[in-house]
């Protein structure tokens, strides 16, 4: 059974940092592009970043460029999102998703507030 | 960015009756590899998203055959042949042809 389990969310002040993690199991993690997708409260879905199979190619949505960094550790079947200089508009549930959004985790909530 | 536009945004349905959602993209979703990366995503209340359909018309494993997808180029449709109570939720079309992957606004299906 495919499982993606996110962790690392929480309450952070504007300007602060968080590191999200996603633990994958049940599929060959190293064979797939992986994504971070977020959903602000009551809103739709927004792609944040993605990374190719070996981590050599990364893409970011314009609003997070220079602030967020996506990475992966295929030996640990894990995906990460380092989020710096957080803003109120970054508050959302962050989902880890793989294989052209065929696999989704349960999400982790990031709240940005003073 | 590719803009995905869905209609309607709200869809009242009757159990056992068909339902249909349209999705239009601002540019062709045909990729250089010949594939069209148009997916349909379901999000039931309080749950994570779940992909139903990939590459226009392919059902994911475990998805009931009452769900079907069709279309080409810039115009796509999700059809539910006979709505069941468990189909309540928000449905998104999503393109994965260009980065960033973009989603439609969502169509809320309610009984």
**Model pLDDT, residue B59:** 97
Nearest CA in chain A to B60: A102
Residue contact A47–B102, C-beta within 8 A: yes
**Model pLDDT, residue A99:** 81
Nearest CA in chain A to B93: A45
Residue-wise DSSP of A15-74 = T--EEEEEEEESS-GGGS-EEEEEE-TT---EEEEEE-TTSS-EEE-GGGTTTEEEEEEG
**Length of chain B in terms of residues written:** 111
Question: In this complex, which of B60, B99, B106 lies closest to A44 when CB atoms are compared?
Answer: B106
User: How does pLDDT run across A47-83, given as a tens digit for each residue?
Assistant: 999 999 999 999 999 999 999 999 999 999 999 999 9
**Model pLDDT, residue A13:** 97
- Interface residues of B toward A, Cβ cutoff 8 Å, are 37, 39, 41, 48-51, 54, 60, 92, 94, 96, 99-106
SS3 of residue B30 by DSSP: strand
Tell how strand B89-95 and strand A108-112 pair up.
unpaired
Nearest to A97 by CA among B36, B46, B67, B100: B100
**Both tokens assigned to A51:** 């990374």
Chain B contact present for A101, CB below 8 A: yes
**Model pLDDT, residue B75:** 97
β-bridge partners, A49: A36, A60
Q: Angle at Cα B73 formed by Cα A102 and Cα B10, nearest 5°?
A: 65
Angstrom distance (rounded) from CA B9 to CA B109: 9
Nearest CA in chain B to A105: B48
**Model pLDDT, residue A51:** 96
β-bridge partners, A106: none
Which residues between 23 and 82 in chain A have a beta carbon less than 8 angstroms from any beta carbon of chain B? 35, 37, 44-47, 50, 59, 61
Is the Cβ–Cβ distance between A80 and A74 less than 8 Å?
no
Chain A residues closer than 8 Å to B93 by CB:
none
Residue contact A50–B51, C-beta within 8 A: no
Region A89-97 average pLDDT: 97
User: How does pLDDT run across A11-57, given as a tens digit for each residue?
Assistant: 999 999 999 999 999 999 999 999 999 999 999 999 999 999 999 99
Nearest CA in chain A to B37: A100
Residue contact A101–B41, C-beta within 8 A: yes
Taking CA atoms, A84 is separated from A101, B84, B88, in Å, by 25, 44, 37
Q: What percent of chain A has pLDDT over 70?
A: 100
Residue-wise DSSP of B51-110 = EEEETTTEEPTT--TTEEEEEETTEEEEEESS--GGG-EEEEEEE-SSSSPEE---EEEE
Where chain B has pLDDT below 70, the residues are none
Residue contact B39–A50, C-beta within 8 A: no
Angstrom distance (rounded) from CA B20 to CA B30: 23
């Amino acid at each position: 059974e495919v499982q993606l389990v996110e962790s690392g969310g929480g309450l952070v002040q504007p300007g602060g940092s968080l590191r999200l993690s996603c633990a994958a199991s049940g599929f060959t993690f190293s064979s797939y592009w992986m994504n971070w997708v977020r959903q602000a409260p009551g809103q739709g879905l927004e792609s944040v970043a993605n990374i190719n199979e070996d981590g050599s190619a990364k893409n970011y949505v314009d609003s997070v460029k220079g602030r967020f960094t996506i990475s992966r550790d295929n030996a640990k079947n894990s995906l990460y999102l380092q989020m710096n200089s957080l803003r109120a508009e970054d508050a959302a549930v962050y989902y880890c998703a793989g294989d052209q959004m065929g696999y989704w985790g349960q999400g982790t909530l990031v709240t940005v507030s003073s | 960015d590719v803009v995905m536009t869905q209609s309607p945004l709200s869809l009242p349905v009757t159990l056992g009756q068909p339902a249909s959602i349209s999705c239009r993209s601002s540019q062709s979703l045909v990729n250089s590899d010949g594939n069209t990366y148009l997916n349909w995503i379901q999000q039931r209340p309080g749950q994570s998203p779940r992909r139903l359909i990939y590459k226009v018309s392919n059902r994911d494993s475990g998805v009931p055959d009452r769900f079907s997808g069709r279309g080409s180029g810039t115009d796509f449709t999700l059809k539910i042949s006979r709505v069941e109570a468990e189909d309540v939720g928000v449905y998104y079309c999503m393109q994965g042809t260009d980065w960033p992957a973009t989603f439609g606004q969502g169509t809320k299906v309610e009984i």
